[in-house]
Amino acid sequence: MELTAFVGEPLALDLINTRPLIGEGHVDLIGDAEGLAVWVAQEAGRLPDASLFGAATLAVEDLVAVHAVRDHLASAVRSLIEGRDVPTGDVAGLNAAMRAAPVTRHLDWGDAPAVNSERAGTPGVQLAGFLAEDAALLLAGPDARLIRKCEADDCVMLFVGNNARRRWCSAARCGNRVRVSRYYQRNRSP
């Protein structure tokens, strides 16, 4: 059975959601370069120059950088959901990832003048820096207080609860299972 990532939430939450709970334990969908390349391809429209982040260009150190951002972000979000302050170590970790891949802007002059940005570092360090920046924007923005964990007992997915009635990561994925289970419980023979 091939697993696909749960995508469609803010990019930072999609990153955390690459560790779903399957059966008795977590699975890491971006645990290797190939998995990370698949996830990058799924998120390509939201990433700068996703072609830089293919499996052939990513080294073990690049995976380590992306995993560190995910771990710091997951810890920070867990703290927010539990009503605690974000640990300073997580803030420092996200800041370190952004500093490792600084952004420089430059003016390109031609038929259509434009100001463009470049990020320094290896492809994985660039990706980690971009993801850390996206995470920082989510954590510092208004949606941070709306982050929720799916209410299905066997799900760990996170989402932004823009609708106060939303309780599941996906109505089709978890909501339907919960509703069917409740129906079964109400209508089974005593």
Q: What does the pLDDT look like over 29-65, one tens digit per residue? A: 999 988 998 898 899 889 887 777 776 777 888 899 9
Confidence of residue 179 (pLDDT cuts 50, 70, 90): low
Candidates 179, 108, 43, 184; CA nearest to 118 is: 108
Candidates 26, 16, 7, 24; CA nearest to 149 is: 16
Alpha-carbon distance values, 133 to 20, 96, 128 (Å): 23, 10, 9
- The model's pTM is 0.85
**pLDDT at 1 > cutoff 50:** no
Is residue 3 within 8 A of residue 27, CB to CB? The reply is yes
| Domain 11-149, CATH | 1.10.3300.10
DSSP type of residue 114: E
Residue 50: count of CB within 10 angstroms of its CB: 16
Candidates 7, 9, 6; CA nearest to 161 is: 9
Is residue 154 within 8 A of residue 21, CB to CB? The reply is yes
Candidates 66, 50, 88; CA nearest to 15 is: 66
Per mean pLDDT, which range of 32-41, 44-53, 97-106, 167-176 is the poorest? Answer: 167-176
> Where do the domains of the chain lie?
11-149
Q: Which residues are paired to 106 by β-bridges?
A: 116
Is residue 120 within 8 A of residue 102, CB to CB? The reply is yes
Question: What value does the mean pLDDT of the chain take?
Answer: 87
Q: Distance (Å, rounded) from C-alpha 38 to C-alpha 44?
A: 10
Candidates 39, 42, 73, 88; CA nearest to 144 is: 73
Q: Distance (Å, rounded) from C-alpha 95 to C-alpha 73?
A: 11
pLDDT in tens, 114-148: 998 889 988 889 999 999 999 999 999 999 999 99
